[in-house]
Amino acid sequence: MPSPINLLKKINHPLMTTIMLGLMQTPITARADTDTGIVTITGTIVANTCVLKNKSPSVDMGSIKTSDFQGAYSEKKKLSIELENCGQDVDHVNVTFTGTAASETSLLSAGEEATAPKNVGIQLLNAADTPIDIGAAQPNTVDISSAAGAPTSLEYKLRYKKIGTTPITAGAVNTTLNFELSYQ
């Protein structure tokens, strides 16, 4: 095959020479097919809430004899849900408690194992000793407006409550109480 230069020498036409020189200077590239796409960006900017200091607090109800119940209740044990670094935009926190209900559905079950005590449940009380119904899953609202930036504790109490008139049977208590915090 003759080279382009030799071919130009044989063709002595000015127009043809211009075309051939132009072709030699133009880079020849292959074009690949292209695709396009769209990036969807989502998110939310929220007010500074609080930081939950301990996501899994525990309460040891202790060892209580079935004969130690004074009436229908045992002594109360303290439950603290500790918050810190609360933002200035937060005035209230709603706490919703859920768990496995006892046969009296306002109470938390003492456990589902065969070795769990019978005829007793766990009652949750707010700081003013008002019972909180576990089965209703309604939020308990606490004012924390004075805690902006400072640590604060949401105070609750737990106690055993006898269910019905049948005597309580002994057993090991093993249950969980779930809580969810939402801020206003």
pLDDT of residue 60: 96
CA distances from 41 to 2, 36, 38, 129, 152 (A): 59, 16, 10, 47, 36
Report the C-alpha gap between 56 and 35 in whole angstroms. 49
Q: How does pLDDT run along the chain (184 residues), one tens digit per residue? A: 566 555 555 555 665 666 665 656 656 566 678 888 999 999 988 777 888 999 999 999 999 998 887 689 999 999 999 998 888 888 888 899 999 999 998 999 999 999 999 999 999 999 999 999 987 767 788 888 776 667 788 999 999 999 999 999 999 999 999 999 988 8
β pairing state of 120-125 and 152-162: antiparallel
Report the C-alpha gap between 23 and 36 in whole angstroms. 32
Q: Where are the domains of the chain?
A: 1-28, 51-183
pLDDT of residue 18: 62
Strand ranges, E, within the chain: 51-52, 77-84, 92-99, 108-109, 120-125, 131-132, 140-143, 152-162, 177-183
Residue 160 near residue 56 (C-beta atoms within 8 A): no
What is the fold, at CATH topology level, of the domain defined by 51-183? Immunoglobulin-like (2.60.40)
pTM of the model: 0.72
